[in-house]
Amino acid sequence: MFKINEKPTIKDIARLSNSSIATVSRVLNNVDYPVSNELRESILKVAKELNYKPNIYGRMLKGGQSKEIGLLIPNISNPFYSELVSGVERICIKRGYTPIICSSYNDKKLEKKHLDTLLMKKVDGILASIIGDSADIIREMKLENSKYVLFDQNHNDDSCYSISYDFENSGFIAASYLLNQGLEKIAFLSTPFDRKSRQEIFEGFKRAFRLKGKTFSEDYLIVEGLPENEIEQNAEIQNGIHLTKIMLQKIGKPEAIVAINDITALGVIQELANRKITVPDDISLISFDDIPLAEMVTPKLTTVRQPAFQIGKIGANMLIDRIENMYEGKKSIIIEPELIVRKTVMEKE
Amino acid sequence: MFKINEKPTIKDIARLSNSSIATVSRVLNNVDYPVSNELRESILKVAKELNYKPNIYGRMLKGGQSKEIGLLIPNISNPFYSELVSGVERICIKRGYTPIICSSYNDKKLEKKHLDTLLMKKVDGILASIIGDSADIIREMKLENSKYVLFDQNHNDDSCYSISYDFENSGFIAASYLLNQGLEKIAFLSTPFDRKSRQEIFEGFKRAFRLKGKTFSEDYLIVEGLPENEIEQNAEIQNGIHLTKIMLQKIGKPEAIVAINDITALGVIQELANRKITVPDDISLISFDDIPLAEMVTPKLTTVRQPAFQIGKIGANMLIDRIENMYEGKKSIIIEPELIVRKTVMEKE
DNA sequence: GTGAAAGCGCTAACAC
DNA sequence: GTGTTAGCGCTTTCAC
């Protein structure tokens, strides 16, 4: 018999089926190779009896693919990213890969450590939304000539495959919609513009004003941030509360508010409610992302959809296509945002 | 030189540092073994120059630990589970493990496939919240003599390590709190009692009535379910909406509602709002879980905390302790729930 | 059709 | 202190 309490190997199968490891390997891998039916049956029978499971490490050593991809994100418990992950997962399931999910919790050291782990595991590729020095991370991935695709990154590096939203247009859509409802005193609430995305949304926002022949007064730009530390998972909502307080103090009640994302918008609603100010009756509110929550809360959020699930799916397909050397699309994919009208903006009747 | 475009191995390092693979292995593993400083320096220098990363597959083949644990859950994009995952992740980071997260999306076939993948990867252990036939899954894990810990499972199997909440007490706490506020016409809204947890919550709920010398009229028990299919990610909130409609039709407006979880409660609020019924002014509402959302929405949810993050942390520690043969706690850990008073229950003044 | 044997990168037992 | 070597489970080449 084979070793007690040890996993059976092809050797055991070979012995018990009176054949050789080579033949067993051929049969089990269903490789296109002539094997007598009799032997084949016998081998399969023994394999089944032993409840044989191949040892992937033996296989990997021969230089196989790990069929794993790394997924480097800031925080799995942020609904935006858990949606993104979900999209990646679906594609991975369909295409036979396992995603290794790593949250860096806004800790650059940890992010680097995760990267090292992934590289060591020799994952077939990496999907990353980097919080730290992206140049650094990219360099390392290149060094290991790992395949990778970046989400929404601040990279100036043309050599990277990436996927992102058209943030400028997002901002434009939001502002245009408000202006079209006759709302003009609009406050823009955001955490600091340290990510390109936020700056771009603001640029599009201003473009909408320009196009209507109006000017945006910088007094209405409220940018402030608790230092970005998402370990406190409700940091973003705290930002919304904080920004609202500052806004009310600086400029009083505007007609409408643009919040940099849905979670921030939730904070805005909460702080306004504290002061008996109702959305949308007293102030209209629009934000960005359209996380699933957006239509679960009351009132349902009017928002500009930047679909996390979809970007996850597209990104995963892009990466796997690259891994399998069949990617033929563009190096940089841009997803167009979409206005989702719900209940937080008072519409002109 | 070593092979172009290939990863350097200890062989390459040995060659370039004029030593042997054994010595290289010793130095790199920092094993307690005498090596001359000169050689050590030289080896480390070469390793660094080559940007050497050990191949874990070679190591694993020798029977090492994978330092991975499997995490089998229903759905990563459900906030409850993304919190749980987050808890597991923290512990894994601290203790040097990588969690492999697998969502089964309520598909039993997929769950089984994930399990096979995990077993094949020879993860050091598995944390599981099983949706399918748990006996089946447990049998397989035992067969592979894999270490495992179950979350909140319907297992009758005493031989299992598990962690769960005291659901009966949760139900008791919720009902007692409402009754103490003078609320007596209380509806209980839940999806079908196919999980032990829901039945237990209801038992505790009834116990509170009994203890106050009151009886709960079964008319007020509203159990109904869209077939459980969380692929539609907002299935749970739809359940809340659906249950509310049925309730209003069957019994009209109760004084208070107990909803089986926070997301369902969000659906309740939404449907009531549609009909201009306000929480808590017209109807009080309490639910279970205390997902982060619960205090982000307006009104903030009064709920009985069944802390997902904490259960994730404890479960991960339990599993890793078992893996490292240092677990000394109980086979079955029960977490006590806690009442979190916020804004959805009208308090007696 | 089938089997023997080399070798993937690493660790560890053994030899010097 | 250092080096040689066997062997982990598998795939694959080569020989029969």
Instruction: Provide the pLDDT for residue A3.
Output: 42
Instruction: Provide the pLDDT for residue A156.
Output: 67
Which residue of B282, B298, B300 to mutate against A (max A Cβ within 10 Å)?
B298
In the three-class reduction of DSSP (H, G, I as helix; E, B as strand; rest coil), residue B278 is classed as coil
The nucleotide lying nearest B33 (C-alpha to C1') is D1
Residues 240-299 of A with CB under 8 A from B: 263, 266-267, 269-270, 273, 292-293, 295-299
- Using CA atoms, how far apart are residues B81 and B73, in angstroms rounded to an integer? 7
Nearest CA in chain B to A97: B117
CA angle B283, B288, B292 (to 5 degrees): 100
Using the beta-carbon criterion (under 8 Å), do B98 and A100 form an inter-chain contact? yes
Using the beta-carbon criterion (under 8 Å), do B293 and A293 form an inter-chain contact? yes
Dihedral sign for Cα atoms in the order B16, B20, B24, B30: negative
Q: A63 CB near a chain B CB, below 8 Å?
A: no
Using the beta-carbon criterion (under 8 Å), do A122 and B267 form an inter-chain contact? no
Instruction: Provide the pLDDT for residue A7.
Output: 79
Task: Name the residue facing B83 among A61, A77, A120 (closest C-beta).
Answer: A77
Using the beta-carbon criterion (under 8 Å), do A122 and B77 form an inter-chain contact? no
What number is the average pLDDT over the span B279-298? 95
Residue A230, both tokens: 């998402």
Q: Tell me, in Å, how far CA of B135 is from C1' of C9? A: 39
Instruction: Provide the pLDDT for residue A55.
Output: 87
Query: Which range has the worst mean pLDDT, A22-26, A172-176, A267-271?
Result: A22-26
Q: Tell me, in Å, how far CA of A28 is from C1' of C1? A: 16
What number is the average pLDDT over the span B98-118? 93
Q: Tell me, in Å, how far CA of B96 is from C1' of C16? A: 38
Span B126-143, pLDDT tens digits: 999 998 788 888 988 988
Q: A76 CB near a chain B CB, below 8 Å?
A: yes
Nearest CA in chain B to A74: B86
Q: Name every chain A residue with its beta carbon within 8 A of the beta carbon of B7.
A: 144
Q: Tell me, in Å, how far CA of B234 is from C1' of C11? A: 51
The residues, ordered by sequence, that sit 6+ positions from A150 with a Cβ below 8 Å of its Cβ are A127, A128, A129, A130, A134, A138, A160, A161, A162, A163
In the three-class reduction of DSSP (H, G, I as helix; E, B as strand; rest coil), residue B287 is classed as strand
A67 touches strand D (CB under 7 A): no
Name which of B271, B270, B257, B262 is nearest B236 in CA terms. Answer: B262
The answer to whether residue A208 scores a pLDDT higher than 80 is yes
Using the beta-carbon criterion (under 8 Å), do B55 and A122 form an inter-chain contact? yes
Using the beta-carbon criterion (under 8 Å), do B56 and A144 form an inter-chain contact? no
What number is the average pLDDT over the span B323-335? 93
**Average confidence score pLDDT of chain B:** 91
The answer to whether residue A347 scores a pLDDT higher than 60 is yes
- Using CA atoms, how far apart are residues A167 and A105, in angstroms rounded to an integer? 24
Span B147-159, pLDDT tens digits: 999 998 766 677 7
Span A118-134, pLDDT tens digits: 998 889 999 999 987 88
Nearest CA in chain A to B81: A77
What number is the average pLDDT over the span B87-93? 96
Residues 208-237 of B with CB under 8 A from A: 233-234, 237
Q: What backbone torsions phi and psi does residue A4 show, to the nearest 5 degrees?
A: -65, 140
Instruction: Provide the pLDDT for residue A53.
Output: 87
What number is the average pLDDT over the span A337-349? 94
Instruction: Provide the pLDDT for residue A228.
Output: 57
Q: Which residue's C-alpha is at the least distance from the C1' of D12?
A: A22
- Contact between B183 and B349 (Cβ < 8 Å): no
- Contact between B178 and B256 (Cβ < 8 Å): yes
What is the DSSP pairing of strand B186-190 with strand B221-223?
Answer: parallel
Instruction: Provide the pLDDT for residue A62.
Output: 81
Query: Which range has the worst mean pLDDT, A116-130, A201-215, B50-64?
Result: B50-64
A4 touches strand D (CB under 7 A): no
Higher pLDDT, B234 or A108: A108
Instruction: Provide the pLDDT for residue B230.
Output: 46
The answer to whether residue B233 scores a pLDDT higher than 90 is no
Instruction: Provide the pLDDT for residue A277.
Output: 97
Interface size between A and B, measured as CB pairs under 8 A: 123
- Using CA atoms, how far apart are residues B79 and A325, in angstroms rounded to an integer? 36
Instruction: Provide the pLDDT for residue B1.
Output: 41
- Using CA atoms, how far apart are residues B90 and A113, in angstroms rounded to an integer? 14
Instruction: Provide the pLDDT for residue A348.
Output: 84
Q: Tell me, in Å, how far CA of A62 is from C1' of C8? A: 4
The answer to whether residue A97 scores a pLDDT higher than 90 is yes
Instruction: Provide the pLDDT for residue A1.
Output: 42
Instruction: Provide the pLDDT for residue B228.
Output: 57
Q: Which residues of A140-177 are buried (b: 16+ CB within 10 A; e: fewer)?
A: ebeebebbbbbbbbbbeeeebbbbbbbbbbbbbbbbbb
Query: Which range has the worst mean pLDDT, A84-88, A96-100, A149-153?
Result: A149-153
Instruction: Summarize chain A as % helix, strand, coil (round to 5).
Output: 45, 15, 40
Query: Which range has the worst mean pLDDT, A231-235, A279-283, B151-155, B306-310?
Result: A231-235
What is the DSSP pairing of strand A284-289 with strand A303-305?
Answer: parallel
Q: Which residue's C-alpha is at the least distance from the C1' of C5?
A: A22
The residues, ordered by sequence, that sit 6+ positions from A182 with a Cβ below 8 Å of its Cβ are A348
The answer to whether residue A56 scores a pLDDT higher than 80 is yes
Q: Name every chain A residue with its beta carbon within 8 A of the beta carbon of B54.
A: 120
Using the beta-carbon criterion (under 8 Å), do A61 and B55 form an inter-chain contact? yes
Using the beta-carbon criterion (under 8 Å), do A54 and B120 form an inter-chain contact? yes
What number is the average pLDDT over the span B70-83? 94
Higher pLDDT, A247 or B4: A247
Task: Name the residue facing B93 among A93, A110, A145 (closest C-beta).
Answer: A110
Residue A88, both tokens: 């990646």
Q: What is the pTM of this model?
A: 0.91
Q: Tell me, in Å, how far CA of A20 is from C1' of D16? A: 14
Using the beta-carbon criterion (under 8 Å), do B144 and A86 form an inter-chain contact? no
Instruction: Provide the pLDDT for residue B159.
Output: 79
Q: Name every chain A residue with its beta carbon within 8 A of the beta carbon of B80.
A: none
Task: Name the residue facing A296 among B60, B143, B237 (closest C-beta).
Answer: B237
Residue for token pair 């919240």: B129
CA distances from A32 to A26, A53, A62, A120, B282 (A): 8, 21, 19, 32, 71
Q: Name every chain A residue with its beta carbon within 8 A of the beta carbon of B300.
A: 270
Nearest CA in chain A to B267: A296
**Average confidence score pLDDT of chain A:** 91
Q: A85 CB near a chain B CB, below 8 Å?
A: yes
- Using CA atoms, how far apart are residues B33 and B26, in angstroms rounded to an integer? 7
Using the beta-carbon criterion (under 8 Å), do A100 and B103 form an inter-chain contact? no
CA end-to-end span of chain A: 82
Using the beta-carbon criterion (under 8 Å), do A233 and B77 form an inter-chain contact? no
The answer to whether residue A182 scores a pLDDT higher than 60 is yes
Higher pLDDT, A194 or A206: A206
The answer to whether residue A2 scores a pLDDT higher than 60 is no
